[in-house]
Amino acid sequence: MGYLDRITEFSNITVTPEEYGKSRITGKITLETSSGPLEFRVVFTYSDDIEVDRNLAGLVLTMPVINFTLFSMKLTLDFPVSKADLDAIREFVKINNREVFVNKLARRRYEFYRKEYLPSEEDITPQNADGITEVVANENYSDRLFKPAGGSAAVFSSGGKESLLSYGMLKELDPETHAFFFNESGFHWLPAKTAHDYYMSHFKNVHKVWSNVDRFYRFVLRHMKIIDQKMVNSKTDTYPVQLFIFPVYIMSMVPVALNTGISGAVLGDEFDDPREMPPFHAIKHYYEVYDQTHDFNSFISDYFHRKGIDFTVWSAVYPINGSVVEKILVNRYPELFRLQRSCHSCRNVGGRIVPCGVCSKCLGILLFVLNAGGDPRKIEYSEESIRSLKQNVEKERMKLDPDELNLMKSNLGFIEIRNPEKFQHVPGIHMLPDEEIPFQKVPEKYRDGILGIVRQYSGGVFILSETGWVPVN
């Protein structure tokens, strides 16, 4: 028996839209197992009235399912799809399969899987990483052209520093900027709630969709025999399987865009140093962040355009590190900074949403805020979390880029660095290898304005050479 046969949980997963239109999309997900079928009803409820057909409803429902396709022999789309749809979903399935195989099974950070289902060295091959999932559909769909009436962008808003800064900059450049919130049924809503409530009171063009996709994820995980069920509910900074998260948010935004004239989705993708992303066993992958990369933004934007939807996905902060994002937010948009909640373990204390202060995400935020001259107490961090930051950082497996982490620790007096020139790029604007100008991947409408803001808080422009990041005029 081959490795993929051993980890196959489902012979088929079928996506069937049931109800769509007005302010709601629902559908049935059927998972065929050796013990019989499992069914789950996925729901998306909108704060706006929407008009969608069976094709778009099916696409919205399909995105969360792609998280689990490595473990299924087939994905059946029980709704009409166009050639653009089918090509895109097949590519998404292949890429997601590879990300899950490499980052969850092979180079895992947590032992979510039972040991007998982990790959041996011989099992770690490009063929196994791609999976065997067949994507099938029985109905054809003819795409129709859509042209937005307004042309303003919508910032995907989560309560994190990147989304808050993106909203602040775009709102400054275009008062008609929209905000889009995705409300999952579990605790993930807490980090976004502070920003959402403030936006609703102070701004127009604020949209929200509620969904039970997180319950769907837990439902599937509970029925996977290869998962160590004792680990599913443990507190970690990642998920047992789910890496295809942002496509769920983006596709759920499309019905709102079609009805309001929104021309694009702005994600909070900050800088990822390409030097830190080499292949694994000759397998190209994205270190769990494919849906937060330019490759993803470019691919899904091209897909929408081929489908006839003038909707572009991009980032306003992609060439700058998180410490620069925080610096601009603290110093230019203090009212938005107060809304920041970047912890996935937030809790409600007397009506205030409070971060845990000790997880790797909180530790990174504390480093950034203090480095920027900000006060972490303004975003509900406790005196104890600030006082114990140094010792907590020393014992935590931080997920920050090594150069940025070391510079933050140096700036705060935790360590001494001997070659400071190596770290001078960290507060700068990075031009990627395929770029000729800074912020080239930002739409022209916003490029100069965003560059003008960021220049005031960054340390120059850098390009990647054989010796590392070097400054340019």
What pLDDT digit, counting tens, does each position of 10-28 carry? 999 999 999 998 999 999 9
How high is the mean pLDDT of the chain?
95
The arithmetic mean of pLDDT across residues 267-276, rounded, is 89
Contact call for residues 200 and 206 (beta carbons, < 8 A): yes
At 101, is the pLDDT very low, low, confident or very high (cuts 50, 70, 90)? very high
Assess contact for 50 and 259: CB atoms under 8 A: yes
Separation between Cα atoms, residue 235 and residue 29, nearest integer Å: 27
- pLDDT at site 389: 98
Hey, what amino acid is at 36? G
pLDDT of residue 147: 63
- Whether the per-residue pLDDT at 436 is higher than 70: the answer is yes
pLDDT score of 234 more than 90: no
Residue 347 has pLDDT above 80, yes or no: yes
Whether 149 shows a pLDDT value over 80: the answer reads no
Backbone angles phi, psi at 417, to 5 degrees: -105, 140
Stretch among 225-234, 295-304, 406-415, 447-456 having the lowest mean pLDDT:
225-234
Cα 470 to chain centroid distance, Å, stands at 29
Q: pLDDT for 81-94, tens place per residue?
A: 999 999 999 999 99
Burial grade of 106 (CB within 10 A; 0-12, 13-18, 19 or more): buried
Of all residues in the chain, what percent carry a pLDDT higher than 70? 99
Q: Which residue has the higher pLDDT, 379 or 238?
A: 379
Residue spans per domain, the chain: 3-152+205-310, 322-472
Exposed, middle or buried: residue 71 (CB in 10 Å: 0-12, 13-18, 19+)? buried
206 phi/psi in degrees, rounded to 5: -110, 125
Measured distance CA(359)–CA(439) in Å, rounded: 32
Amino acid at position 437, single letter: I
**For residues 214-241, average pLDDT:** 91
Task: For 282-340, write each residue's pLDDT tens digit.
Answer: 999 999 999 999 999 999 999 999 999 999 999 999 999 999 999 999 999 999 999 99
Backbone angles phi, psi at 125, to 5 degrees: -130, 155
Confidence at 145, pLDDT banded by 50, 70, 90: confident
Angle between helices 360-371 and 322-332 (to 10 degrees): 60
Residues 415-426, mean pLDDT to the nearest whole number: 93
Tokens matching residue 150: 């307004």
> Which residues have CB under 8 Å from 289's CB, separation 6+?
272
pLDDT of residue 1: 82
186 confidence band (pLDDT: 50, 70, 90): low
Contacts of 81-86 with C-beta under 8 Å, sequence gap 24+, read 81/55, 81/137, 81/139, 81/140, 81/141, 82/55, 82/140, 82/141, 82/142, 82/143, 82/307, 84/143, 84/303, 84/306, 84/307, 85/55, 85/59, 85/137, 85/141, 85/307, 86/135, 86/137
* CA neighbor of 170 nearest in space, from 460, 453, 466: 453
User: What per-residue string of b and e applies to 28-53 under the rule 16 or more CB within 10 Å gives b?
Assistant: ebbbbbeeeebebebbbebbeebebe
d(CA 297, CA 164): 19
Dig out the tokens for 187 from the structure. Answer: 């605790």
In whole angstroms, give the CA distance from residue 166 to residue 146. 26
Arithmetic mean of pLDDT, 441-452: 97
Statement: residue 75 has pLDDT above 90: yes
Q: Sign of the CA dihedral 328, 331, 333, 334?
A: positive
Say if residue 232's pLDDT is above 70: yes
**pLDDT at residue 30, as a whole number:** 98
Beta-sheet pairing, 74-77 with 134-137: parallel
User: Mean pLDDT across the stretch 185-189?
Assistant: 75
* Distance from C-alpha of 55 to C-alpha of 64, rounded to nearest angstrom: 16
pTM summary value: 0.94
pLDDT at 133 over 90: yes
473: confidence class by pLDDT, cuts 50, 70, 90: confident
pLDDT of residue 117 exceeding 80? yes
Higher pLDDT, 109 or 152: 152
Judged against a pLDDT cut of 80, whether residue 382 lies above it is answered with yes
Query: Are the CB atoms for 74 and 13 separated by under 8 Å?
Result: yes
